[in-house]
Amino acid sequence: MDCEKILFKIQHFIQEKIANSNANGVILGLSGGIDSALVATLCKKALKDGAFALLMPTKHSSKTNLQDALKLCETLNLNYKIINIDDILQAFLKEFEGADKIRTGNCTARIRMNLLYDYSALKNYLVVGTSNKSELMLGYGTIYGDLAYAFNPIGGLYKSEIYTLAKYLNLDEVFLKKVPSADLWENQSDEEDLGFSYALIDEGLKALEKNDEATIAKLNPDLILMLQQRIKKNAFKREMPQILRLDEFL
């Protein structure tokens, strides 16, 4: 993995997107996890003062994640705003019938994206995505929530490659050692939800993408089945909504 060339490519991509849209910069949701920390660092490098972060905790959010996000903002000299979204979330949940953790998590993600797009309009900033390739292939995200953005500079990197680039950029060890989590509810863990570590998931995803039958045969059949089912079930999240063409009848 050529981190230097990847870094150059990403920075140029970010700068090009802003220039082509006549935007003033980018805005992102900063969770305190490694993906958003990496995107914040990349955007700051590419745009200097043209990067802004929203930190949007709920009462269930990890206090450590918030502290780590704040420390990163200070380290990068990144402009930010903290908005506690718990009152907004509770107002929504009052209208929900028997909301479970998944529905509550989806609502949380969509509230955050609503705020990001409002600030995007206020500041003429583009919303930048923070989902990695592993999450995108599996559809592990909320459509019109964290999967909504103007562009995504890290969507071509598997989760394991996110760590490699983060190390290259000398991100704080706290991000490298932290258990991956969307932080949508208390003690939520990505790898527990998925049933496998990201190291194994990425190995399986790469094998499936390359149709590497030899590697696929060596891996846990339950892992491969889980990956195939998620990729198929969530394919709609990776595509624009289909519009029925009726030209021939008009």
Binding residues for Mg(2+): 35, 135
Q: CA angle, 20 as apex, 19 and 21 as ends, to 5°?
A: 95
Q: Which residues are annotated as a binding site?
A: 29-36, 110, 130, 135, 159, 181
Give the CA-trace dihedral at 125, 126, 129, 130, to 10 degrees. Answer: -20
d(CA 118, CA 127): 10
Q: Which residues are annotated as a binding site for deamido-NAD(+)?
A: 110
Q: Which residues are annotated as a binding site for ATP?
A: 29-36, 130, 159, 181
Per DSSP, which regions of the chain are E strands?
25-29, 51-55, 79-82, 125-127
Whole-number CA gyration radius for the chain: 19
Q: How many CB atoms lie within 10 A of CB 164?
A: 14
